Amino acid sequence: MSAILRTLALVVLSLLLSGCALPFLAPAIWITETRPPRVIDAWDVPALAREFGSSTPRPHHLLVVEFETRQDLREYFARYPSLLQLRASLCRDGSYDSTRRVSDRDVRDPAGYDIPYESALSSDAPLREARAYFYLDTRAPRIGATDARDPNVVHGHDLRRDRDDICFVLRTVTKAIPGRTSNSVRIPYADIRAALDAAGM
């Protein structure tokens, strides 16, 4: 066995003995239930207000989608260290389509803390409920600047104007290996419109 293979084997063994599983062994997160979306003001959620900063106009409306997962997310990320990202697109045949992306966002717990890092510090209670926050329009960036010329990104999409269903998945992200992708969830345009109407928008 070469020195590189011996080193790799020792690293794997030490991780397993420490109780920390390897990210590539992680199962995909499974979304079990999604509630109808609603519109909120980010300033009503202290953890979000701190992120946006004092220069953000008030109110700062976001569409929030609450969902539940099969796994306890705190336990999952303690066992499989990685980042968690929500990726949203215009639906194709009722499912997420990576060639029609409209948003890449972080995922937060019910208190507004980022999952997994801020949320892990805020509590050690089981966590199977999470939230995704969507910008209503393009006044604030929804996808990283590096994606500005990405042909798979749909620019200028406006939830208040465009009559599209939105689909999203959860994806774990690691530096060295491909992440895992959850099942796809569809947010019907009718539900988005109902949330906007309820908020007087």
Predicted pLDDT at 167: 94
Reduced 3-state DSSP string for the chain: CCHHHHHHHHHHHHHHHCCCCCHHHCCCCCEEEECCCEEEEHHHCHHHHHHHCCCCCCCCEEEEEEEEECCCHHHHHHHCCCEEEEEEEECECCECCCCCEEEEEEEECCCCCEECHHHHHHCCCCCCEEEEEEECCCCCCCCCHHHCCCCCECCCCCCCCCCCCEEEEEEEECCCCCCCECCCEEECHHHHHHHHHHCCC
Name the percent of the chain lying above pLDDT 70.
Answer: 76
Domain count, the chain: 1
pTM over 0.75: yes
Q: 5 lies in a domain?
A: no
Q: 23 lies in a domain?
A: no
Q: 108 lies in a domain?
A: yes
Predicted pLDDT at 179: 80
Q: 8 lies in a domain?
A: no
Q: In which domain, by residue range, is 67 found?
A: 28-198
Predicted pLDDT at 11: 40
Q: 3 lies in a domain?
A: no
Predicted pLDDT at 114: 87
Mean pLDDT of the chain: 79
Low-confidence ranges of the chain (pLDDT < 50): 1, 3-19, 21, 138-141, 144-146
Q: 111 lies in a domain?
A: yes
